[in-house]
Amino acid sequence: MREILRAFGGPLSLVIGTLVGFWLLILVAVPQVAMLDYSLWSQAANADLSAAIDRAYAEATMAEFDRRAEANPAKATELDEKLTALKRTIAELEAAQTSPPKTYGLQNYTRMSPLHAYIFVRTILSALAVAAVALVVCYPIAYAAAFAPTPRRAAILLTALLVPYAMNELLRVYAWLMIFDYRGVLNSLFAAVGLADLEARRWVPFLETQGALFTVMVSVYALFMVFPIMNTLQTLDPHQIEAARDLGASAWRIHARVVIPHAKPGIAVGVITVFMLAAGSFAVPQILSRGTGGDWFSQLVYRQFFEANNWNLGSAYAFSLLVVSLAIVFAMMRAFGVSLREITK
C-alpha cells in the first residue's frame, strides 16, 4: 500500500483504487456472487396463489353487488364487514405473490434432468475433442507460418490467417450454414449427381449431425490455436532445427524433441482457449440449428433464462458450467506445467 502512495501520491492513488475497485467488485466479483446466490434458492410456484386471488376478487365483486342491492341495514353492515375482510385477504395474497418466500438449498443443482445432465457432459467432452482436433489440424499451420521461407511468404500467410481470425464469428458460422443447409451447397451438389432430390425433400440432413457441428467449431476456433503456437515458435532459433537435422535426427524426432517442447506454452494457451470457446459456444449451435436446437449446454442455459423464465435454475446451470470449465482449465495448466502468467501473456 505504501509503495502505491509513494509512487502516485494521494489523489492519483485514490483514482487508481476507485477504478480497480469498481472493476473487480462491481463488474467482476459481486455479479458472480449474485449469480451463485440466485442458483441457491427457489420460490414456490405461483399457479395456486393466482387462482386464490382470482377467487377472492370474484367473491368481492359479488359481495359488492349484493351490498348495493341490500336495503336491510343489519345485513348491509354484515356485507360491509365481509368486503373489508375480502380486501385484506386480497392484499395479503397479492403481497405473497409478488414476493413468495425463498427456499434456500441445492434444489436447483439436484433438479437437472437426466437429459440435461447428459447434454452437459456431452458438451464438455465435445469441447475437449474440438480442442484436441484443432491442435492436430493447426500445429502444422503454425509451424509453416513461423518458419516461412521468405519474409514475403510470411506476410502473405499471416494476412491470410488474420482474416478468418478477425472475421465476425456469427457470419463465419452463417457461411457454413449455407454449405450444410438442407438446400445448401453440399446437398445441391449431391442433387446434381442424383444422390439427393431437393424437390422431394430427400436430402442429407448435415445440420442435424454432430459432424457438421464439429467441422464448424474447429473451423471457427482454429485460429485461436494457430496464433499462440505460431508466436512461441517464432522465438525458436531455426538453427536449432538445422543442428538437429545435421546430427541426423528424423523430422518426427525433431518435432518431438525440439519444436514441440519449445511450443508447449503456446500449445497450452491454444488448447485452453479453444476449449473455453467451445464449451461456452453459443453462436455455433444456435445458428446451425436456426435457434431451435438444444444439444449444446449454452442453449439450455439460454432457454432457462429467456423461455422458461426460471432464473434460479438458469443460474445453477451457468454456475455449473463455469465451475467445471474452470476446473478443466486449471487441470490443463497443471498438465502443461504453465502458470497463469504464461497463458495470459
Partner 1 sequence: MTRRREAGEAVLDAYVALFLLYMFLPLGVMVIAAFNAYPDPSVTQWHGFTLHWFEALARDGRMLAGLRNSIFAALAVVALSLPIGLAAALLLTRLQSRARGFLYALMVSPILTPGIILGISTLVFWRNFGMAGGLLLAVLAQTSFIAAYCMLIFLARLQRFDATQVEAALDLGASQGLVFRRILVPFLAPSMATAAVVAFLQSFENYNTTVFSIGGDWTLVTEIGSRFRFGLTPAVNAIGVVFVVLTVAMAILHVHLGRRRRAHG
Positions in 174-193 near partner 1 (CB under 8 A): 174-179, 183, 185, 188-189
Phi first, then psi: what are they for 290, rounded to 5°?
55, 35
**In whole angstroms, what is the distance from residue 58 CA to residue 62 CA?**
6
Q: Which CB sits closer to partner 1, 56 or 269?
A: 269
From the CB of 344, what's the least distance to partner 1, in Å? 5
Binding test (CB under 8 A) with partner 1, winner from 305, 310, 332, 336: 305
Assess 283 for contact with partner 1 (CB under 8 A).
yes
The window from 81-89, 92-100, 112-120, 140-148 that contacts partner 1 (CB under 8 A) reads 140-148
String of DSSP letters for 52-66: HHHHHHHHHHHHHHH
Q: Which CB sits closer to partner 1, 109 or 282?
A: 282
Assess 64 for contact with partner 1 (CB under 8 A).
no
Contact of 296 with 19, CB cutoff 8 Å: no
Question: Which residues, at least 6 apart from 318, have a Cβ–Cβ distance to it below 8 Å?
Answer: 35, 39, 301
Assess 24 for contact with partner 1 (CB under 8 A).
yes
Binding test (CB under 8 A) with partner 1, winner from 47, 74, 247, 340: 340
Instruction: Mark 86-124 as b/e (b = at least 16 C-beta within 10 Å).
Output: beebbeebeeeeeeeeeeeeeebeeebeeebeebbeebb
Total binding residues toward partner 1, as defined by CB under 8 A: 87
Binding test (CB under 8 A) with partner 1, winner from 23, 57, 65, 118: 23
**In whole angstroms, what is the distance from residue 186 CA to residue 182 CA?**
9
Assess 32 for contact with partner 1 (CB under 8 A).
yes
Nearest CA to 178 out of 30, 290, 25, 82 is that of 290
Assess 15 for contact with partner 1 (CB under 8 A).
yes
**In whole angstroms, what is the distance from residue 152 CA to residue 161 CA?**
14
> Residue 296 is placed in which grid cell?
449444446
Binding test (CB under 8 A) with partner 1, winner from 61, 84, 95, 140: 140
* 92 alpha carbon, distance to own chain's centre: 41
From the CB of 196, what's the least distance to partner 1, in Å? 12
Assess 291 for contact with partner 1 (CB under 8 A).
yes
The window from 7-15, 51-59, 78-86, 235-243 that contacts partner 1 (CB under 8 A) reads 7-15
From the CB of 160, what's the least distance to partner 1, in Å? 6
Binding test (CB under 8 A) with partner 1, winner from 112, 311, 336, 342: 311
Q: Interface residues for partner 1 in 250-279 (CB under 8 A)?
A: 251, 272, 276, 279
Contact of 279 with 123, CB cutoff 8 Å: yes
Cβ count near 48 (within 10 Å): 9
Q: Mask 219-238, x = binds partner 1 (CB under 8 A)?
A: x--x----------------
From the CB of 25, what's the least distance to partner 1, in Å? 10
* 119 alpha carbon, distance to own chain's centre: 14
Q: Which CB sits closer to partner 1, 93 or 179?
A: 179
Assess 325 for contact with partner 1 (CB under 8 A).
yes
**In whole angstroms, what is the distance from residue 192 CA to residue 261 CA?**
49
**In whole angstroms, what is the distance from residue 45 CA to residue 42 CA?**
9
Binding test (CB under 8 A) with partner 1, winner from 40, 63, 329, 338: 329
Q: Which CB sits closer to partner 1, 68 or 341?
A: 341
From the CB of 265, what's the least distance to partner 1, in Å? 15
Assess 123 for contact with partner 1 (CB under 8 A).
no
Assess 141 for contact with partner 1 (CB under 8 A).
yes
Question: Which residues, at least 6 apart from 223, have a Cβ–Cβ distance to it below 8 Å?
Answer: 138, 161, 164, 165
